[in-house]
Chain A
């Protein structure tokens, strides 16, 4: 016999696995667009620590000279990204799943404890239901980031029709910087996410497909009954 614990509702599994390929297409097509004016880098003055992106990256992904392809894909798949994201947020609100996902007032402190625990610097992890505090922070932050991508995306896409939104994002060029930085954020999220999923093991991963976690139930040991000799009935004595 096994004990199964429901973890991810079907809807959340759908949203997760739809989002993954859609976001991949958005990042790929975004890269094709970005290439046409690839001015961002990490560095100062004449010193560049990291150029976005090195030629090797472009060549490996066949990026150069596909701006129109990038735009056509980006402005097609943006709807799937947007609608899937909206549905996820609505679902978590109305199903009550948000209670497992949103950080509460202890989460930020506990998230740090989780990090220390994961780095083997702390013996115990704080108690959790479904998601630990670090996951709560990360999975909520990624939704805020998604909203940020949509808002800055609209600001770049229609900067005149949504000129107020563009101004709110700090102007056209700053909106483009945020839009790009968020994408780098997704890539970093992805790396950490994959490492954590691998470390957490198969049972955790398969729950994102099946919905439940499985636990072996150890065979219950039969209580050992020691045969005791019949108590000797007290000899009834009759009072003389």
Chain B
């Protein structure tokens, strides 16, 4: 082996000096260990506010959001697949906000400005150019599935309804008709070209349990942000309230 290595430094010292240095080193070591343990215990047991996570950790999630928002580019797209890659049995993982049958008088309500709501039918949306996205849908739980969706690209929708001024705001909020499920997504992610107001899955109208008649598909986010059965859409500079962020999850949830 490397016999040319510098020999570690050696010295001869009295027994007492060795003992003294060892005691000092171990004392510092134990004090630091205890401090570390106490810091962790303090962090772990921080009283959780309404959003179900330790405030320091929420600050951490927000710091990560700020950092990764800096590097975010809407030109980076989720990997796409062919129709043959898409699964036929699409996993249903959530039904919050979809209790009961859909009101037959369903309309998409787009709150353009306070007191000015655009009301649209599914037929109105189907008149706009259709975009299909086949991507690996990712759940916050850790599983993923290649799924095939069709609908209106969100940015096309904004153009068609002259909602360009609204893109100056930071967030888009969405709420189910029964108001039980609600999400907020940052505008940059909403304007990514793969973000759809989807009304089709596997070339067929959305099944009830997949959010018929209209759901959000936003491949740069975890599934928790892909709200099913959109009732109301609004634009805001403040973070719209978000169902899973209130349960302690990251608000950004960006991929």
- CB of B10 within 8 Å of the partner chain: yes
Assess whether B138 is interfacial by the CB under 8 Å rule: yes
A69 to B250, CA, bound (A): 10
Interfacial chain B residues near A185, Cβ < 8 Å = none
Contact (Cβ within 8 A) A161 B68? yes
CB closest residue in chain B, given A39? B143
Contact across chains for A25 and B1 when beta carbons are under 8 A apart: no
Contacts of A104 in B (CB 8 A): 1-2
Question: A209: which B residues are within 8 A, CB to CB?
Answer: 25-26, 29
List chain B positions with a Cβ less than 8 A from chain A: 1-3, 5-15, 18, 21-22, 25-26, 29, 32-33, 36, 40, 52-54, 56-58, 60-61, 64, 68, 71-73, 76-79, 136, 138-144, 219-220, 244, 247-250, 254-255
Residues of A within 8 A of B71 (CB): 161
Question: Are A210 and B26 in touch, CB under 8 angstroms?
Answer: yes
Q: Which of A69, A126, A211 contacts B25 (CB 8 A)?
A: A211
Residue interface bits A72-95, CB-to-B below 8 A is 1, else 0: 110110000000000000000000
A130 part of interface (Cβ distance < 8 Å): yes
Interchain CB contact (< 8 A) of B136 among A5, A107, A172: A172
**Closest 3 pairs (CB-CB, A-B):** A37-B142, A68-B248, A76-B60
Q: Can you name the residue of chain A whose Cβ is closest to the Cβ of B71?
A: A161
Q: Is the CB of A126 within 8 A of B1?
A: yes
Complex Cα–Cα for A170 and B11 (A)? 52
Q: Report the bound CA distance from A76 to B40 in whole Å.
A: 12
Number of interface residues of A (CB under 8 A): 53
- Is A153 an interface residue, CB under 8 A from the partner? no
Give min CB distance, A136 to chain B, whole Å: 9
Which chain A residues numbered 19 to 62 have a C-beta less than 8 Å away from chain B? 21, 25, 33-34, 36-37, 39
Binary flags per residue of A173-187, CB closer than 8 Å to B gives 1, else 0: 100100000000000
The reply to whether B76 and A6 contact each other, CB–CB distance below 8 Å, is no
Query: Do residues B76 and A99 form an inter-chain contact, with CB atoms below 8 A?
Result: no
6 A-B pairs besides A107-B1, A133-B1, A158-B255 with CB distance below 8 A are: A4-B10, A6-B8, A127-B1, A127-B3, A173-B144, A209-B29
Give the docked Cα–Cα distance between A72 and B2 (Å): 45
Decide: A160 and B141 in contact? CB cutoff 8 A: no
A191 to B83 CA separation, bound complex (whole angstroms): 47
A69 to chain B minimum Cβ distance, whole angstroms, is 7
Contact A159 B76 (CB under 8 A): no
Whether the Cβ atoms of A75 and B250 lie closer than 8 Å is: yes
Tell me which of A71, A161, A214 contacts B249 (CB under 8 A): A71
Q: Is the CB of B68 within 8 A of A158?
A: yes
Most chain B CB within a 10 A radius of its CB, from A1, A96, A211: A1
B248 touches A17 (CB 8 A): no
Q: Show 15 A/B contacts (Cβ-Cβ < 8 Å), sorted by A.
A: A1-B13, A5-B10, A21-B40, A34-B142, A68-B244, A69-B53, A72-B61, A127-B1, A129-B2, A158-B68, A160-B77, A161-B71, A161-B220, A163-B79, A212-B21
